Amino acid sequence: MENAMNAVAETGQLASPSLWTLLREDVDCVFQRDPAARSRFEVITTYPGVHAIVMQRLAHRLWHAGLRYPARLLSWLARLLTNIDIHPGAQLGRRFFIDHGAGVVIGETAEIGDDVTLYHGVTLGGTTWSKGKRHPTLGNGVVIGAGAKVLGAITLGDQVRVGANSVVVKDVLARRTVVGIPGKVVLRSEDAGPGTLGINLDHHLIPDPVGKAIACLMERIEVLERALQARGAAVDGQCSLCDADDLCGSNVAHTIKKL
């Protein structure tokens, strides 16, 4: 026994957790990420995300045992019961949580790290006809908002957050927040701070890059107007086509009609 433990220590590898351990962690992690959860009985009997994960872990074992058709059949049954489609070949990490779950799709070659959270409508999809690696790889602690699509054999680093309805088609470094179509990095996660167990679920607290750009332009205009005033030039806020005060006021429709 001691020799076996030494061998494990030397290789730096630990034995894979049992199926029971994985399923118990999947249930327990719900209480850390969903304040609506009241009891284990409620979670086990009423959470479709948990049902889909349980059946996928069973199907995954069948898949790698060479029982491909039974695995696909169990996957089909899970989709029928939960409206969540996870291919039995997908690799799921520990403490995986799918909130609500409706419409979630995870492809065959997807690889998901530990402590990952997906909301409803998320797709981890492929972009090629190739039978090789064609689905995303997610690092640990990744959070993907409702309706977001992560497409192709790309990698999202640890603790990446993807805003709702975003479409991500390129690799994302660790600790970044991505929003938009196509997805753009708009924030470093360390600026937001970690949440429970280091998982930041505040995927709705994302910056507005367009609003920030407009604010920068307005600030620049003020600087230029002050510079003109310092030189004695008249600056009255007017332009050749419209009244800037009207445009910023309540009579926007009338101003647009004049244009």
Is 1 in a helix, a strand, or coil?
coil
- At 259, the pLDDT band (50, 70, 90 cuts) reads very low
Please compute the mean of the pLDDT values over residues 133-154 and round it to a whole number: 94
Which of 27-31, 84-88, 170-174, 217-221 is least confident?
217-221
Query: Which pairs from 181-184 meet CB under 8 Å and 24+ separation?
Result: 184/209
Read off the pLDDT band of 255 (50, 70, 90): very low
pLDDT greater at residue 70 or residue 128: 70
Higher pLDDT, 170 or 190: 170
Q: Dump pLDDT digits (tens) for 12-65.
A: 445 678 888 999 999 988 988 888 889 999 999 999 999 999 999 999 999 999
Single-letter amino acid code for the residue at 14 = L
Q: Tell how strand 111-112 and strand 117-118 pair up.
A: unpaired
Q: What is the pLDDT of residues 153-183, one digit of tens each?
A: 999 999 999 999 999 999 999 999 999 888 8
d(CA 207, CA 213): 11
Looking at the DSSP assignment, which residues form a beta bridge with residue 117?
97, 143
DSSP E strand stretches across 37-169:
85-86, 97-98, 105-106, 111-112, 117-118, 123-125, 137-138, 143-144, 149-151, 155-156, 161-162, 167-168
Q: Can you give the pLDDT at residue 8?
A: 36
Task: For residues 209-235, give the mean pLDDT.
Answer: 77
Say which residue, 222 or 166, is predicted with more confidence: 166
CA-closest candidate to residue 110, choices 90, 96, 127, 92: 90
* φ/ψ bin of 86: left (φ > 0), alpha (ψ from -120 to 50), beta (otherwise): beta
Most confident segment among 7-11, 130-134, 151-155, 209-213: 151-155
- The most confident of the ranges 67-71, 175-179, 236-240 is 67-71
Least confident of 127-131, 134-138, 143-147, 177-181: 127-131
Range name among 3-7, 97-101, 158-162, 209-213 with the lowest pLDDT average? 3-7
- In order of their start, the domains of the chain are 2-205 (2.160.10.10), 210-258 (no CATH)
Among left, alpha and beta (phi > 0; psi -120 to 50; other), residue 198 is left
112 pLDDT more than 70 = yes
What pTM was estimated for this model as a whole? 0.69
The pLDDT score that the predictor gives to residue 174 is 93
pLDDT of residue 28: 87
Looking at residues 115-124, what average pLDDT do you find?
94
Burial of 36 (0-12, 13-18, 19+ CB in 10 A): exposed
In the block, tokens 């006021």 appear at 249
The string over 128-152, giving b where at least 16 C-beta atoms fall within 10 Å of a residue's C-beta and e elsewhere, is eeeeeebbbbbbbbbbbbbbbbbbb
What was the pLDDT predicted at 196? 46
Is the backbone of residue 157 left (phi > 0), alpha (psi -120 to 50) or beta? Answer: beta
Region for residue 121 given its phi and psi (left: phi exceeds 0; alpha: psi -120 to 50; beta: otherwise): left
